[in-house]
Amino acid sequence: MTDAVSSPAPTAVRPSPRTTGVLAVLLLGTILVCLFLWPEWRRNPDLSHGFFAPLIFLLLIRESRQQGPWRWMPDRAWTAPLLGALLGAALLGFALAGLFAATLAWSHAVVLFLLSASLVCLLGGGLLVLAHENLRLVPLNWISVTAVLLWVLVAPIPDGTYARLTLGLQTWVTDNVMNVLHLIGVPARQHGNVIELARTTVGVEEACSGVRSLISCVYAGFFFAAWQVRRPLRRLVLIAAAPVLALGMNLLRSLALTLLANDGVDIAGTWHDATGFAILGLTAAALAGLAVLLESKERDRPASPEVISGLIPRPLLAIFWTGTALTAGLGLFFFAHSREHSVTETDPPRLGEFLPAAAPGWLARDSDDLYQFTGILETTHLMERTYLHPSISGHPAQVTVYIAYWPPGQTSVSRVASHTPDACWPGAGWTSQTSNEDRRQTLSAAGGALAPAEHRVFRTDRGLAQHVWFWHVFDGRVIDYRDPYSIPALLQIAWRYGFRRQGSQYFVRLSSNRPWNELAAEPLMQDILRGLAKAGL
């Protein structure tokens, strides 16, 4: 801050009750976000440095108070609006995290990232209060700001961004390993991210892309720059060196593993993991050594006998507690609506009875591998039956009907709505080729018609096509569909249905390699439509 007041370090006095309250809120918010992130730190090797985040945060705050520079927030007209903006951003981030959790889950990467961003804004607001010139508890300097911002680097990167980053790094590593192999005369050919050697092949997998070392080293670079280096230009040198060093060391590791594989060494298991940990350790040590070389801190700076008054201006205090109260109220709402509900229905429908077991001219068979998805779908009530016919309109025909059921209290509307063909089929290699004008159809036959269905046409790169119709039924009504890839659409699902669980739900999908106009006259289709009407269609 250009208007920040600079002065020597104050002597510490006991904080007032108001200050203690602010500190308690910041501590509680940090602990809660750490509890959300802890399972991800344990599961995701890319974020293993997160275990040290609380300790590093406290270390940097202590260093900020001891080493300075001691810059304090002046009592200006813009101070209160700035605090309000930070706390408003924290509230908005928390609200978005809760809404996305209604659709995706509290453990999803997007939700955890938003929670971390919300914590950064909350801690930033707290820093403005604690660094006020009337209080002077934590100075507003590079070290304390870094301590706050580092929380973003211990949260998972949103899936789309992570996938693009990983793919780019895999390609970069593979290309450069190939360049070095050709330079030193090792014969090799490249197929995407796979290197074909004389004796074996080596694949540059996601774990070998360098994402882990990149994230960890950027985190370490910012930490060492704040903790060990004082001059701004030297700090920038250290921060810029972190990703370069991480990428270079990972390239060296990939090259070493490739050369070992070329010599007939089995690089899976011990070699792969040992070199990964060794590279992380060497990179961190190199960053620490570079920080020591750049060190220019002045030790034992004398402290001023100036005493902290401990008086937080009332406007800042009012804004801080208003933001805290709104966030706490929102948190109670999310807790009340996202906690587990008891399942109120003990006699689920027999889904197999919804569909005809056989039909003249058709061969019927049931899927036997659906239960591998029960954890993701949060239900064990699943049914999928496929019907095969040798010729419809001169071509073999296939019709598949899938039904999933959730009793009241089993899961939220928005969680079910996130498992649609638009979200799941592209991951299996299918591409949607449906025009906007043809995205809804009403399936009708001699026995009647169903509620309008979402209609898609999917194709594979081998030319196979599937016409897909699907419905989501909540509490006996077909609900509106929203695109699972659209962030505004996901928010609309969460806003309209939120965490609602008190109604039974069905998800029904009918798919075929033939369009509906070629199937409608079949007696089997009439029987299927009559059966699906039992699900509320």
Most confident of 205-219, 266-280, 337-351, 459-473: 459-473
β-strand 381-392 against 395-406: which pairing, if any?
A: antiparallel
Residue 166 has pLDDT above 90, yes or no: no
- b/e string for 495-525 if b means 16 or more Cβ within 10 A? eebbbbbebbbbbbbbbbbbebebbeebebb
Question: Rounded mean pLDDT of 494-504?
Answer: 64
Placement of tokens 């001699």 in the chain: 446
DSSP string, 97-143: HHHHHHHS-TTSHHHHHHHHHHHHHHHHHHHHHHTBTTT-SS--SHH
391: exposed, middle or buried (C-beta count within 10 Å: 0-12, 13-18, 19+)? exposed
Can you give the length of the chain in residues?
Answer: 537
More confident residue, 429 or 143: 143
Query: For residue 69, is the peptide bond before it cis, meaning its omega torsion is within 30 degrees of 0?
Result: yes
- For the stretch 12-26, pLDDT in tens is 556 677 888 889 999
Q: Is the pTM for the entire model greater than 0.85?
A: no
- For the stretch 63-101, pLDDT in tens is 998 887 888 888 888 888 999 999 999 999 998 888 777
> Which element (helix H / strand E) includes 56?
helix 53-67
Q: What crossing angle do the helices spanning 211-227 and 159-183 adopt, rounded to 10°? A: 100
Placement of tokens 């590279």 in the chain: 279
Bridge partners, residue 441, by sequence: 453
Angstrom distance (rounded) from CA 177 to CA 274: 20
Cβ–Cβ < 8 Å for 29, 122: yes
> How sure is the predictor about 31, in pLDDT bands with cuts at 50, 70 and 90?
very high
| The predicted structure's pLDDT at residue 125 | 93
Angle at 16 between CA 10 and CA 17, to 5 degrees: 155
| The predicted structure's pLDDT at residue 304 | 45
424: exposed, middle or buried (C-beta count within 10 Å: 0-12, 13-18, 19+)? middle
Placement of tokens 């928390």 in the chain: 94
Encoded tokens for 26: 């910041």
CB contact set of 334 (below 8 Å; sequence gap of 6+): 98, 101, 499
> How sure is the predictor about 330, in pLDDT bands with cuts at 50, 70 and 90?
confident
| The predicted structure's pLDDT at residue 292 | 84
Residue 470 has pLDDT above 60, yes or no: yes
Percent of the chain exceeding pLDDT 90 equals 19
- Sign of the torsion angle spanned by Cα atoms 289, 293, 296, 301: positive
Residue 1 has pLDDT above 50, yes or no: no
- For the stretch 177-205, pLDDT in tens is 888 888 888 888 876 677 877 777 777 66
- For the stretch 43-62, pLDDT in tens is 887 788 889 999 999 999 99
Percent of the chain exceeding pLDDT 70 equals 82
CB contact set of 271 (below 8 Å; sequence gap of 6+): 257, 260, 265
- Single out the residue of 231, 246, 244 nearest to residue 293, CA to CA: 231
Average pLDDT of the chain?
81
Q: DSSP state, 271?
A: H
- Sign of the torsion angle spanned by Cα atoms 132, 136, 138, 141: positive
Helix, strand, or coil here: 168? helix
| End-to-end CA, the chain | 61
| The predicted structure's pLDDT at residue 307 | 44
| The predicted structure's pLDDT at residue 115 | 94
Q: In degrees rounded to 5, what are phi and psi of residue 431?
A: -120, 130
Tell me the CA distances in angstroms from 14 to 67, 164, 240, 307, one per residue in order: 20, 50, 40, 10
DSSP string, 413-472: HHHHHTSSHHHHTGGGT-EE---GGGSEE--EETTEEPSPEEEEEEE-TT--EEEEEEEE
| The predicted structure's pLDDT at residue 439 | 80
Helix, strand, or coil here: 258? helix
Residue 122 has pLDDT above 60, yes or no: yes
| The predicted structure's pLDDT at residue 2 | 44
Residue 310 has pLDDT above 80, yes or no: no
Bridge partners, residue 459, by sequence: 431, 465
- For the stretch 376-419, pLDDT in tens is 788 888 999 999 998 887 788 899 999 999 888 777 776 777 77
| The predicted structure's pLDDT at residue 302 | 45
Question: Rounded mean pLDDT of 437-461?
Answer: 80
CB contact set of 390 (below 8 Å; sequence gap of 6+): 361, 396
- For the stretch 123-159, pLDDT in tens is 999 999 998 888 888 899 999 999 999 999 999 887 6
